[in-house]
Structure 1
């Protein structure tokens, strides 16, 4: 097989989308030395990362980066000029792809929470994702929650959607004291801290986290509470989060690091007193798994896919309830034994997820889709 992968998110800092495709490419290249792969990228850093790295993997620069031109024009032209057996995309497929398409759709939060997206982004996603779901040869979802949501929202036949769970990359592990100290100095973090990781946008629910943290400081004016460290680049509609952090109760105790390279994340997770992920809509929820691999106790929202990902290895709280978030933080701050139990459970839970297995499941889908397409072409030729 000759498999093409739209890897335009590599090198963009697009959090989950970039993490998914980079780890999948790495795992596929390791487990599959038989089939040929072509990666479509838009950043020179992505070319440098993958060019001549594996004999079975080629890299093609497909410009411009803007999807309005690249997806319907550049990708289709490239696919017609250099035919492949299958194209794998995230969310959006070219409207006239000359080959079968496998599409990974992590979640469809834009359908359920339209107010958490800009008007342009919401309309674009609705148009392109709905088209992709109906036209793709097969859909990949990262969780049973997302699979069920796609079936119920779009009426997609269950046989057309498979689940391939994500995993934390192997470099997420408890960091050394030297590495922790280096990262503390780099981001000017002193003492204990509560960590949150994710782009600054409404769905991550950072406003409620900040308000919950403020309420703890209000209730414990004499206590020495940990700092709050928020890791992630500004996404969209982030102004309310910044306003919440301007509260005089929390502003001098809150650190925004901005975008952090993945090499620094394990140490940031390791040194944290606890990790809080109060998102109210996730297709999988990878940061809690990364934190657990680093031995960090986790608090996460109790909705959508997060209970499926975390299991009993973290504290689940109602993400709509500031008091519930505050109480969860308070429990971990006050109870070192609970932190120890969650650390042990988290390490065990994280080992259940593996990118090699995700790649094997994905490759099996490629094989099924290509075989079905060949059978269909044979039947048409014989008709």
Structure 2
């Protein structure tokens, strides 16, 4: 089988889709059985080594021979000829215009269901280009069964043409002893087991605003004992939330770390007393899986893909029910019997989800179209 993987999402720092793309690329390069060749494609050009796109961003500019040297119509003809006989996988929603047919990963439908939570440029990109991708897609991959059913219903596709392949979790996300974390946590003014954590972009559908408001209603002693730590980019439509965050910081029960480099996240997770992720909608909810793999008792929402990802290991709440959310936060922080069982269950669930299995199942699907 000849395989081509689009790597347009490999832009540092990696987003969730960027991580997914990178893990597929990394595993594809080592899984040579029944694969004649693997090539990587980005912005109408070939990429020799996808790792270069992460290590040295300037190298992204050196590609472009076809664009510089050929007229547009000849460039499209040359690319189609080079792709002939290969299976093309686009892991970031869109097939390039030069691809006649391929496999597409659709991570969620938030741009359609919650358009107000996306920048206008992204909404327009889908409005202009996604219909063309669907017309050329031979098969769709989703990250969860929940989104598989949603895509079939929303676009009128047969379920036979959609396959759910769960994402994986990096092996760096694991339980760690206090001595292993002391220096990393001390640098951030944190101590082992004495804070709760939410890792999320600050945007409306993540319901971080609901989490912050609800946390502010907890008993003062509980908030002081386990302050809430937020990690993630500021996102969009978060101005009101930023005001609430600053108020919580001034009162001493909240810390906003902003973007945390990927290499430091496993330590931040492993040192937490609890993890809270009350998002209203997720295609998969990778932070939940990372928390479970880190041995951290977790609360998440009872909607979209999140119960599926949690696998019975997390406390589930309706994200817009503030009272239920507050009860759940107290339960996850204080109920030692539930916490012990949740940790064990979470480690078992996370142990079944790895990037190698995700890549292998994706390769098996690609072989069906060779």
TM-score range relative to shorter protein: 0.7 to 0.9
- The alpha carbon displacement at 1:223 in A equals 6.6
> Corresponding residue for 1:311?
311
State the distance in 1 between where 2:134 and 2:145 align: 16
SS at match of 1:264: helix
State the distance in 2 between where 1:256 and 1:248 align: 9
> Corresponding residue for 1:48?
52
Q: Using a 3 Å threshold, how does the CA distance of structure 1 residues 49 and 3 change in structure 2: closer, same or farther? A: same
The alignment covers a number of residue pairs equal to 353
State the distance in 2 between where 1:280 and 1:75 align: 43
Residues 177-213 of structure 1: per-residue CA shift (max 9 Å, x gap): 3431122133222461110112222221110010011
Kept in 2, the 8 Å contact 1:3–1:87? The answer is: yes
Kept in 2, the 8 Å contact 1:40–1:62? The answer is: no
1:109 matched to 2:107? The reply is no
Kept in 1, the 8 Å contact 2:167–2:353? The answer is: yes
> Corresponding residue for 1:208?
210
Residue pairs, 1:236-251, within 5 angstroms: 236-248=236-248
Q: Using a 3 Å threshold, how does the CA distance of structure 1 residues 215 and 287 change in structure 2: closer, same or farther? A: same
> Corresponding residue for 1:157?
158
State the distance in 2 between where 1:194 and 1:137 align: 44
Instruction: Give the TM-score normalised by the residue count of structure 2.
Output: 0.86
1:26 matched to 2:26? The reply is yes
Residue pairs, 1:254-273, within 5 angstroms: 254-273=254-273
Kept in 1, the 8 Å contact 2:168–2:357? The answer is: no
- The alpha carbon displacement at 1:49 in A equals 6.7
1:287 matched to 2:291? The reply is no
- The alpha carbon displacement at 1:13 in A equals 2.4
State the distance in 2 between where 1:262 and 1:220 align: 32
- The alpha carbon displacement at 1:46 in A equals 4.9
Residue pairs, 1:78-227, within 5 angstroms: 79-80=79-80, 82-83=82-83, 85-89=86-90, 90-98=92-100, 100-190=101-191, 192-216=194-218, 219-220=219-220, 224-227=224-227
State the distance in 2 between where 1:81 and 1:3 align: 14
- The alpha carbon displacement at 1:110 in A equals 1.5
Q: Using a 3 Å threshold, how does the CA distance of structure 1 residues 41 and 262 change in structure 2: closer, same or farther? A: farther
> Corresponding residue for 1:345?
345
1:300 matched to 2:300? The reply is yes
SS at match of 1:224: helix
Q: Using a 3 Å threshold, how does the CA distance of structure 1 residues 45 and 257 change in structure 2: closer, same or farther? A: farther
- The alpha carbon displacement at 1:245 in A equals 1.0
Kept in 1, the 8 Å contact 2:80–2:98? The answer is: no
RMSD between aligned residues: 2.9
State the distance in 1 between where 2:167 and 2:75 align: 26
> Corresponding residue for 1:380?
none
Unaligned runs of 5+ residues in structure 2 are 65-71
> Corresponding residue for 1:325?
325
- The alpha carbon displacement at 1:345 in A equals 0.8
> Corresponding residue for 1:374?
none
Instruction: Give the TM-score normalised by the residue count of structure 1.
Output: 0.83
State the distance in 2 between where 1:88 and 1:328 align: 40
Unaligned runs of 5+ residues in structure 1 are 52-58, 64-71, 371-383
State the distance in 1 between where 2:342 and 2:87 align: 42
SS at match of 1:316: strand
Deviates more, 1:147-156 or 1:5-14: 5-14
Q: Using a 3 Å threshold, how does the CA distance of structure 1 residues 169 and 190 change in structure 2: closer, same or farther? A: closer
SS at match of 1:39: strand
Q: Using a 3 Å threshold, how does the CA distance of structure 1 residues 162 and 248 change in structure 2: closer, same or farther? A: closer
State the distance in 1 between where 2:348 and 2:132 align: 39
Kept in 1, the 8 Å contact 2:11–2:53? The answer is: no
State the distance in 1 between where 2:247 and 2:73 align: 48
- The alpha carbon displacement at 1:341 in A equals 1.3
